[in-house]
Amino acid sequence: MRNNWAEWGVIDSGRGKSSIDWRVDKSGAVTVFVDVIDEANDQTMTSKTECSIGSEKWNYESLSSSATLVRPNESTEIDARCSGDTNYLQYKFVWNKNNWADWGVAQQGTSSHLQWAPKDAGDYELICDVSGSDGVVQTKRTIISCWDFSRITAISTDGNNSWGVRADLGTLAAEKSGQFQFKFVWAKSDWSKWGVLKEFSSVNDAYFNPSALGLQDGYYDLYCDVLLPDGTLQSKSTQIYYSPFGSSTVLGVSRIGLVTWLTTHQFDGYYLGTRYSGGFSYDSCLYPKGAPRWDGYTGMNCTGFVAHAYAAVGGDVNRIAQNNNHSPWAGGPGGGGYINAWRWYGYARDLGCKMYEFRTVQDMLNSGYAQKGDIIFFKTDGSIDCHIGFFWGDNPHDNKMWHQILPGNLIGPCFNNANKGEVRQSVVLIK
């Protein structure tokens, strides 16, 4: 019995025994009771003794693994090495990934050995808590990296003019281990043109600059062959579209930032479906469903949508609100401040942005100049409403625009809702 009967149990209830061997699994004070039963006279005599169980002496030396770099479902042997009196020690093995975003108990008990296999790629922290009979816990950790050649990624930071290409093994430990060799190749889809970006080396990235190679605009496949430690070869590819007319910015803000912001809200109803507002004021035209006015009101006009997204990624809309001389009217672009599309067109001209003007939407699509995130401005003669929005095609010929029209915000074909016949109008791409 311990702690005034908070803990107790029967050691042995056998007959005819005057002595037993008892293994204590916990240190501290314990009272042992012995009942001697005289069945013939129906009498029970009880005696007790107080014992003080000292804690064992032990030391947690190390936590080691047979392999620190494995593939999914490949086992590694993990051992917690302790010295001294280890007969009463308890071992709890726990794994976690991505700073405890995913975790689990791998094993708990008296065994200091664990055979464990991660399920997917990433870096895992293996933790083993060792506790003695006195409840004292000591902890050690080790890292197991799990690799898997899952993909090749290509990222452009200069408006689809050049790309950084990288083989993704799921963990930097594998990519920097020197156990893998990487070869990068570019090719047209039909292999009419191709070349080697980097021969086999231990470096898992390369650089693709079509302009420097004298290539024309269009689709290119980027390949990476990876020579694995066991001598086998794996290959992955990704496709990019090269546009020599690209720009890394849109009206002075980062194209990647703008496209990322819009993509983040492409399917969550933040913008899409917001009703059209004809109020032509900041108070009535700048409130998408995802960011309503203080009283719950939502509504945007076409320029209010562009302004909201532009400001969300650091664009200075107040500069756009300033007057300019680029409109059909002698007196300037009119009111509305930065929710007036003519002021955006004028600001782009005064800023010296890349701008391309076309007679029709089809001419714009045929040109190959459009990039996702470009501002499309439908420039009219003033007798018809202008219009503004974002080009949202996955390639320069993809007829998609994200814009605010009556009745609401949508992604669809490129058009001016007030002038579907495209009369007395041109299409301006602003980069």
Q: Phi/psi at 302 (nearest 5 deg)?
A: -60, -40
Q: What is each CA distance from 338 to 273, 276, 318, 345, 360, in whole angstroms?
A: 22, 17, 7, 11, 26
Closest-CA residue to 104 (of 113, 94, 116, 117): 94
Is 122:173 a contact under the CB 8 Å cutoff? no
Which of 39-43, 207-211, 257-261 has the weakest average pLDDT?
A: 39-43
User: How sure is the predictor about 46, in pLDDT bands with cuts at 50, 70 and 90?
Assistant: confident
Domains of the chain: 58-146 (2.60.40.10), 154-242 (2.60.40.10), 249-430 (3.90.1720.10)
pTM metric for this prediction: 0.62
227-281 pLDDT tens trace: 999 999 999 999 988 888 778 889 999 998 999 999 999 999 999 999 999 999 9
User: How sure is the predictor about 14, in pLDDT bands with cuts at 50, 70 and 90?
Assistant: low
DSSP 338: G
On the 0-12 / 13-18 / 19+ scale of CB atoms within 10 A, 65 is middle
Say which residue the tokens 């990235």 belong to: 205
Q: Which helix (H) or strand (E) holds 381?
A: none
User: How sure is the predictor about 67, in pLDDT bands with cuts at 50, 70 and 90?
Assistant: very high
Is the torsion defined by CA of 69, 206, 159, 315 positive or negative?
positive
Residue 407 CB neighbours (<10 A)? 10
Flag whether pLDDT at 34 surpasses 70. Answer: yes
Is the torsion defined by CA of 13, 19, 21, 26 positive or negative?
positive
DSSP 15: S
* Stronger pLDDT, 42 or 299, i.e. the higher one: 299
Is 36:45 a contact under the CB 8 Å cutoff? yes
179-198 pLDDT tens trace: 999 999 999 989 999 999 99
